[in-house]
A and B are shown apart, each in its own frame.
Chain A
Amino acid sequence: MRRLPIYFLVDISESMIGEPIDQVQEGISTIVRELKKDPYSLETVWISVVGFAGEAEVITPLQDIISFYPPKIPVGSGTSLAKGLFKVMDCIDKDIVKTTYDRKGDWKPLVFLFTDGVPTDDAQIAIEKWNKNYHGKPNTIAISIGENTNYRLLGSLSDNVLLFNNNSENSYKEFFKWVTDSIKTTSQSVTEANKEGINLSKIDHSILEKVDPEALQKFPDNNFVVLNGKCSESKKPYLIKYKKAFTDSGIAGMQTRYYRLEGTYKIDDASYYRLSSAQKSSQKISVEELHGAPSCPHCANPIALATCSCGGIHCLKGEGYNECPWCGTGDHYGFSSEGFDINRTLG
């Protein structure tokens, strides 16, 4: 039997924490739910989920829809598109069976790349390798979640670069329905002989729009600030995510940028550090720019944004003596009325 292998190459960097990652998780489960109802897909589609943050990892190895169970998507620090691409290339080399005289090969694989950010490392070598050996081998669809990606870079990987506009509650639902329909049409048409090109489902332009990779793109400023803290009680890590917003500056026509608290999220320590880049972030942000006081998602501590002289962010019961869960030093903590800089993650 010929398989139609589908790879989901998912950006699992910290900026995806919260809603986006939940929705990717939910989305993959919706895709599987729908494909299970389609006899073509049920008999031919095989799925693999590969995640990339600072490091890349095969979250689910290639398996048929019949045995597939949606995985728990981890997060890590950093956005190494290069490592993600290398990982998928490894998978393709290992998994895909080619047709020969005495072997029945697979259908051309399909790669869906989901990313919401700009790589934190140089993806050039990976892209060159991809283009030299892999371009056109799998059918690739690059999907930019939000406008914060480099279209030109994505365009150098795929002829299909799409921008996902998450502007309504229904967007994700519609978006994953589109992905499902695209897989369905592809799995049908491969069984019909002689179709080389990729068959994407019709695009709803309010949700997905085709992007011209050559068009001049204005990069918005950093959309998110993500901080990595540790619970003083349980020593478990968490992330605090702030989203960019603007407020009137008091001067007519001018606005001040600030970051509004979006939420705090528990993360799995093992997978987080495994997937995070070894590269340390030297980026800092002034707490004056951060609006909203988060509490610790692990324990009942009301303050999640305390920082030690070592630079580590952690939670705190209140003013008084506390031990830093990062470096172990104990000290007396008090509130700072002045602004100070705090470490950001790579995002």
Chain B
Amino acid sequence: MENTIRQILKNHHIQDNKTMDKVISKLLTQTDIQSNIKLIIEAQKTIMHEAIIYKEREEFADAFFPITNAHSKKKYEFVFPMEQFPNIRIKNISGLDLAGLNFEENTIKGIPFESDTYDLNIEFFHTNDEENSEFKKAQLFVNADPKDLWKNIPSDIEAPFHKADEAMFKGSFLDKKIVVASQRGRSHAHEGKFRDDDFAIVELLNSWSIISVSDGAGSAQLARYGSELATQSINEFFKNKEILAELDLELNKIFNKEKEEPESKQNVIKILYRGVLDTFKTLKEKAEEYEVTLKDLHSTLIFALVKKFDFGYIILSFGVGDCPINLINKDFSDVLLLNTMDVGEFGGGTRFITMNEIFDDTISSRFKITRTKDFSKLILMTDGIYDPKFITENKLEDIESWKTFFEDLNGKNDDEAKVDFQNDENIDEQLLSWMDFWSKGNHDDRTLAVIY
């Protein structure tokens, strides 16, 4: 009581000294002063009590804590960190029911059914003043399953150079079998655009066969036609009896003689070069015919021209762009990349068959002559497969990655989709449905050809 009087006097700038002690003791003898002081102390207590309630409520209202994001259709639980606010209780949170969640014992729980952003109104009170609630706003994000957001809009059948959204093929390839499937990517499906990938297979004269695969550039207006033209025209070029006879002759010289035949190798590459140049010219002519630019037809191209000789299979390969051709040996212990890949520092830095610049001094390095006694698989694919399944270029030359890849084809995947290379009656359909696999961030067109 004495201290309270002292404080009052101090607040009024009355110095604290001996005289003051006397004044205070006099004041303390008066009962009405005493009861007034009691009232002051009581009043102060009440004020402090209220002040603390306000302060703690205010601090909770101001506090920022991120509420962990939820995922639609997945079990969710978030516990409010209330340790710092021992006297605050959350009474209710409105807005949660819209998300299909509920609140009990400091926890938001449940399985949210719809993705959205929900504005929450958190109703809370102080344990010393349960009657009076206050409100605090917060946001709750419920993420969509990305799969639910992708649309699948059919492409316009009436449009020029229309191409089916998916394609498949099974058959024989020399004395082996072949299966190919090609599917429009999610990004194109989302906007009702076309499949820009293409492939073509031809059984040629003199026991030769060719397979070519092309990936049209997404940014090119008529890429769907460019990739079709590229694969068709390179195959067309080799339908020529004389050209194939010439190849037979040179290859026999190379592989049937003991000494090296560098000149014959050069001649083989020259023939292949003529084929590629012919394709470039065809694309150029067609661009002029339809009054578009070559850029509008931008497409990559890979092909494998294959024949079985007495000395083994000969694979003549070429590639421009970022689609690989791979050869896996008979006992699946080694893998070869049969073309050079064009990849840039940042995503998308590739090259196309429609570019003048590829016909420079380095073009000979794009061709490969490969001899193998036998092989278990010859594979051609576009980056729509290679990006999600191999991720980086080096994995294409790593046999372990290929083992994983074929295990995946054999059914070791989330969808348990299996491509059966033994009982291969429906192998084309199996490959096409396997190709529908989900991969976050990868939504390009997909084409895969396996010779087995």
The residues of A with any CB-CB pair to B shorter than 8 Å are 1-3, 29, 32-33, 36-40, 42-44, 66-72, 98-108, 188-195, 266, 321, 332
- 30 A-B contact pairs sorted by A residue (CB < 8 Å): A1-B442, A3-B441, A29-B117, A33-B141, A36-B141, A36-B143, A37-B149, A43-B146, A44-B441, A66-B71, A69-B68, A69-B69, A69-B141, A99-B343, A101-B394, A102-B392, A102-B393, A102-B395, A104-B391, A105-B345, A105-B346, A108-B346, A192-B187, A192-B217, A192-B218, A192-B219, A193-B219, A321-B11, A321-B13, A332-B13
Docked-complex contact B350 and A66, CB < 8 angstroms: no
**CB closest residue in chain B, given A332:** B13
Docked-complex contact A194 and B345, CB < 8 angstroms: no
**Quick one: which of B62, B115, B187, B350 contacts A266, CB cutoff 8 A?**
B62
Cβ contacts under 8 Å, A71 to chain B = 66
Q: Report how far A8 CA is from B343 CA in the complex, Å.
A: 30
**Quick one: which of A33, A42, A104 contacts B117, CB cutoff 8 A?**
A33
A-B contact count (CB 8 A): 108
B residues 178-202 with Cβ under 8 Å of A?
A: 186-187, 190
Docked-complex contact B67 and A107, CB < 8 angstroms: no
Cβ contacts under 8 Å, A2 to chain B = 347, 441
CB proximity of A337 to chain B, nearest CB, Å = 23
CB proximity of B320 to chain A, nearest CB, Å = 13
Docked-complex contact B347 and A69, CB < 8 angstroms: no
Contact A193:B218 (CB < 8 A) given known A36-B115, A39-B190, A102-B392: yes
Docked-complex contact A29 and B347, CB < 8 angstroms: no
A69-B66, A69-B139, A99-B347 given; 17 more Cβ-contact pairs under 8 Å: A2-B441, A32-B141, A38-B149, A43-B440, A69-B67, A69-B68, A99-B346, A100-B392, A102-B393, A105-B346, A191-B443, A191-B444, A192-B217, A194-B217, A194-B298, A194-B348, A194-B349
Docked-complex contact A98 and B67, CB < 8 angstroms: no
Q: Report how far A39 CA is from B149 CA in the complex, Å.
A: 6
Cβ contacts under 8 Å, A66 to chain B = 69, 71, 143
The residues of B with any CB-CB pair to A shorter than 8 Å are 11, 13, 62, 64, 66-69, 71, 115, 117, 139, 141, 143-144, 146, 149-150, 186-187, 190, 217-219, 298, 343-350, 387, 391-395, 439-444
CB proximity of A239 to chain B, nearest CB, Å = 15
Cβ contacts under 8 Å, A72 to chain B = 64
Cβ contacts under 8 Å, A108 to chain B = 346
Q: Report how far A38 CA is from B444 CA in the complex, Å.
A: 17
Docked-complex contact A193 and B217, CB < 8 angstroms: yes
CB proximity of A64 to chain B, nearest CB, Å = 10
**Quick one: which of B71, B348, B441 contacts A195, CB cutoff 8 A?**
B348
CB proximity of B71 to chain A, nearest CB, Å = 8
Cβ contacts under 8 Å, A193 to chain B = 217-219, 347-348, 350
Cβ contacts under 8 Å, A70 to chain B = 139
Contact A1:B141 (CB < 8 A) given known A37-B149, A102-B392: no
Q: Report how far A20 CA is from B149 CA in the complex, Å.
A: 33
**Quick one: which of A38, A69, A102, A266 contacts B394, CB cutoff 8 A?**
A102
Contact A67:B69 (CB < 8 A) given known A40-B187, A194-B217: yes
**CB closest residue in chain B, given A189:** B219
Q: Report how far A3 CA is from B441 CA in the complex, Å.
A: 8
**CB closest residue in chain B, given A234:** B55
Cβ contacts under 8 Å, A101 to chain B = 392-394
**CB closest residue in chain B, given A98:** B345
Contact A29:B348 (CB < 8 A) given known A101-B394, A192-B218: no
Docked-complex contact A39 and B146, CB < 8 angstroms: yes
Cβ contacts under 8 Å, B187 to chain A = 40, 188, 191-192
**CB closest residue in chain A, given B219:** A192
Q: Report how far A70 CA is from B139 CA in the complex, Å.
A: 9
Cβ contacts under 8 Å, B391 to chain A = 104
CB proximity of B60 to chain A, nearest CB, Å = 14
Q: Report how far A38 CA is from B186 CA in the complex, Å.
A: 13
Cβ contacts under 8 Å, A68 to chain B = 69
Docked-complex contact B441 and A43, CB < 8 angstroms: yes
Docked-complex contact B66 and A191, CB < 8 angstroms: no
Q: Report how far A103 CA is from B219 CA in the complex, Å.
A: 25
CB proximity of A72 to chain B, nearest CB, Å = 4
Cβ contacts under 8 Å, A195 to chain B = 219, 348
CB proximity of B67 to chain A, nearest CB, Å = 7
Cβ contacts under 8 Å, A69 to chain B = 66-69, 139, 141
CB proximity of B50 to chain A, nearest CB, Å = 12
Q: Report how far A32 CA is from B171 CA in the complex, Å.
A: 49
User: 5 closest pairs, A vs B, by CB?
Assistant: A192-B218, A69-B66, A1-B441, A39-B149, A193-B348
Cβ contacts under 8 Å, B66 to chain A = 69, 71
Docked-complex contact B117 and A36, CB < 8 angstroms: yes
Which of B62, B218, B348 has the most CB atoms of chain A within a 10 A radius of its CB? B348
Docked-complex contact B350 and A194, CB < 8 angstroms: yes
Docked-complex contact A103 and B149, CB < 8 angstroms: no
Q: Report how far A190 CA is from B346 CA in the complex, Å.
A: 10
**CB closest residue in chain B, given A102:** B394
Q: Report how far A107 CA is from B344 CA in the complex, Å.
A: 11
Q: Report how far A32 CA is from B67 CA in the complex, Å.
A: 14
Cβ contacts under 8 Å, B64 to chain A = 72
Cβ contacts under 8 Å, A36 to chain B = 115, 117, 141, 143-144
CB proximity of B122 to chain A, nearest CB, Å = 15
Which of A3, A29, A66, A332 has the most CB atoms of chain B within a 10 A radius of its CB? A66
CB proximity of B261 to chain A, nearest CB, Å = 33
Q: Report how far A68 CA is from B149 CA in the complex, Å.
A: 19
**CB closest residue in chain A, given B11:** A321
